[in-house]
Structure 1
């Protein structure tokens, strides 16, 4: 079955027109042939009956005087002067052949092929011959008392007329179809022109170009549709502009929030390192002095235990300071910061973490991209430690001249990405939401693939601006 859904509206119109015109032309030809065949058959029958009656009336006198020579000439004249007469013959009342028009011998089967009742004016029998259908018309001579006259009428002229008429009708139908196609081609183009215009504008809108408008000036339904469509496009353009402005404002605000967050992290890290760290260091020195000068047994004063507790607190503050804002990221760049962080992560959590770096650029990345990548890797590894129960983690960093790619893969418990994504949109998973937002603000994309009981893979891709040498 032909599926027209994939073809254009114009093609469907033209195909429908050709089919309708062809069907009408074919039905017209068939109906005309039927009518003409019936009409010509009736005319041929009447003409054959008339010729046979004339032959029978003229043959009556010749049979009475037994002038068979003139009877033979009469039959000959009948066949010569009438093209449709294939043969003629006369038989006596006893069935004896008196005269015929056959030059090669009379076929005996014709004597019994058509035997009319003497009370009937005529009798017609349809005979199938090598030349086609022949109507054998029998008319009694002098009410059958002198014999019967037979005339064989051929349908050759009828077939010739029908063939000629059919050929003429085919040519006329073809001309009408061609003319109809030409006219419909013109009108179909005019009819589908508004549709093509609407398709053009719709295609432009789907590509993000909301400046296009449908240029249809007609007052019909297409014109009204174009007016409504343009109004809808204007509304969508205004709505899109408003949404774009809001998104730009949100992005700008979010960038400021992240920058402020990083600055606040840096300030807190500096204060922890400088002020709190120095205070705790001084406290340790004081405790050590007291322990050395403690009267009696120093263990009785528990000063050494207190000093070790302060030392552990100082180490923890140092670790928090580094996680809040690693100075190595500002001083030595992304790769060194990742190596340091993953080394500490491996030592503290006893998790096997592999870092593979492929770097093709000589210059450092922008500060924003370095911070983005560092925070995303940090969040991913933190989630792996908290929720994934992973034993092996692989971090692959690839930096080309065009793109920075980070792949983080673990063998943890995994999760259903769809369910977590819905919680992320709802604001319940702020860590993942922050990863998505940071990637978007850096002009990149973040993709998470996870299978329960198999593991999780995070893909980060950030396009990089070309370096002008």
Structure 2
């Protein structure tokens, strides 16, 4: 976990230090074990040589029981080597004839006094450390035998001094290895660090930067591939900008065409509404008057009733034509404004379909641009039609809030609501009422949200910015 947070430089350096430490430890253990084994063998070998020397030189003294010369021989031999801790000379009757202890023989040293016919080596621990006891028979044990105790103390001291020198040498080598590892790490990680810096610059959007790495190995090939990738990114970015510009131009053209289409649609509705109101209504009114006059002059009651029935039918048609004309282009929208037009339409719609429609306004009512007023009026129309056709609602609330910078309209019902699957199914069945609303709102730089109402039905929230004199029109400054 910790290694994953380190840079490559420190990872390489840490691995090098770990390898050096393991090699140094392994080398130290091998040297120590080897020296320990060598010391033991050499010490025993020297002990055997010393014991044989004493046995050869002191054989006659033992036979003659010349204790003085035996003592001198033992003392001189022990003094000649720092490794000799003691020398014991014992006759065939297991009597101790001479020794080199000045303060008395240690307890238990003479416990093993068995007859010896051949050389015997044993090792035991004492308060002074390990003692190698070498017993050598004199004349195959017929005369006696010599025991020499070899201590490791002085040899160990020499080994320790040698180990210190070795450790010092190892430390110097380790320091040199660390320095070389550091330099090697720098040589390895510098190109990678440069590549990382280039990658970060490219991530920040600087696609002109290049990795300047002169290397023929893997890192050099990686740098070359990296530079080629950066060039490809520039080309791809340029191609993307060209495509985006084309897309913006097409989107602007599409918005312009849709705007003109909706404007033409509204103009056509206004023309048809005017013709229905002026020409068709006048013709129907004239027809009604004519039928009334003819009814008064009818020769009999039967013809009079027929003419009056025709007049009533014409009157119904006139009412429907006027309602159709108002629905196509309500005069109140041009004469009284957005709120009055929506209020009149919602009242007639409520009475026609048996709905309870509550209209409320908030904020200071201002004059609304014709394009925004028409869009919001059509959205309310489409929303109420959707309520009747799909929601099964009984109550609808319409809230219009006027703010200095935008107009917000919220239409909520208590119907069954609308889900994502309903939207997908409506799109497949080409029922694009909601998408038409969204298109109108988008053309006016507004936003449309569809969510669940507090009554469990559907709630439409529309927010459209107002265009004021002296301010730039969003549509003119788009893209």
Tell me the TM-score normalized by structure 1.
0.75
For the Cα contact (< 8 Å) 1:394–1:408, is it kept in 2? yes
Following superposition, the deviation at residue 89 of structure 1 comes to 4.7
- Cα distance change, pair 241–58 in 1 and its aligned pair in 2 (3 A): same
For the Cα contact (< 8 Å) 2:118–2:137, is it kept in 1? no
Written as runs of structure 1 = structure 2, the 5 A alignment for 1:18-37 is 18-37=13-32
Q: List per-residue Cα deviations over 1:272-325 (Å, max 9, x = no partner).
A: 234444432442354245326243448843444434433433333333334433
For the Cα contact (< 8 Å) 1:269–1:325, is it kept in 2? yes
For the Cα contact (< 8 Å) 1:280–1:310, is it kept in 2? no
1:389 matched to 2:392? The reply is: yes
Cα distance in 2 between the residues matched to 1:458 and 1:215: 52
Question: Equivalent residue of 1:92, what SS?
Answer: strand
- Cα distance change, pair 101–267 in 1 and its aligned pair in 2 (3 A): farther
For the Cα contact (< 8 Å) 1:266–1:325, is it kept in 2? no
More off after superposition, 382-391 vs 133-142: 133-142
Residue 355 of structure 2 is aligned with which of 351, 354, 362?
A: 351
Match of 1:90 in 2: 88
Cα distance in 2 between the residues matched to 1:116 and 1:447: 113
Match of 1:271 in 2: 272
Match of 1:198 in 2: 199
Written as runs of structure 1 = structure 2, the 5 A alignment for 1:456-467 is 456-462=458-464
Question: Equivalent residue of 1:448, what SS?
Answer: strand
Match of 1:207 in 2: none
For the Cα contact (< 8 Å) 1:71–1:99, is it kept in 2? no
For the Cα contact (< 8 Å) 1:287–1:303, is it kept in 2? no
Residue 136 of structure 2 is aligned with which of 137, 140, 151?
A: 140
- Cα distance change, pair 149–174 in 1 and its aligned pair in 2 (3 A): same
Residue 42 of structure 1 is aligned with which of 15, 22, 37?
A: 37
Cα distance in 1 between the residues matched to 2:400 and 2:54: 120
Structure 1 unaligned blocks of 5 or more:
205-210
- Cα distance change, pair 113–369 in 1 and its aligned pair in 2 (3 A): farther
Match of 2:383 in 1: 380
1:437 matched to 2:439? The reply is: yes
Following superposition, the deviation at residue 176 of structure 1 comes to 3.5
Tell me the TM-score normalized by structure 2.
0.74
Match of 1:208 in 2: none
Cα distance in 1 between the residues matched to 2:17 and 2:8: 14
For the Cα contact (< 8 Å) 1:88–1:151, is it kept in 2? yes
Question: Equivalent residue of 2:134, what SS?
Answer: strand
Written as runs of structure 1 = structure 2, the 5 A alignment for 1:59-458 is 59-60=54-55, 61=57, 64=62, 65-67=66-68, 69-70=71-72, 73-74=75-76, 77=79, 81=82, 87-90=85-88, 92=90, 94=94, 96=96, 98-99=98-99, 107-109=106-108, 119-120=118-119, 123-125=121-123, 127=124, 134=130, 136-140=132-136, 142=138, 145-154=144-153, 155=156, 158=159, 161-162=162-163, 165-166=166-167, 169=170, 172-173=173-174, 176-177=177-178, 180-181=181-182, 183-185=184-186, 187-204=188-205, 212-218=207-213, 220-288=221-289, 290-291=291-292, 293-295=296-298, 296-297=300-301, 300-359=304-363, 364=367, 366-398=369-401, 400-401=403-404, 404-418=407-421, 420-421=423-424, 424=427, 428-449=430-451, 455-458=457-460
- Cα distance change, pair 44–373 in 1 and its aligned pair in 2 (3 A): farther
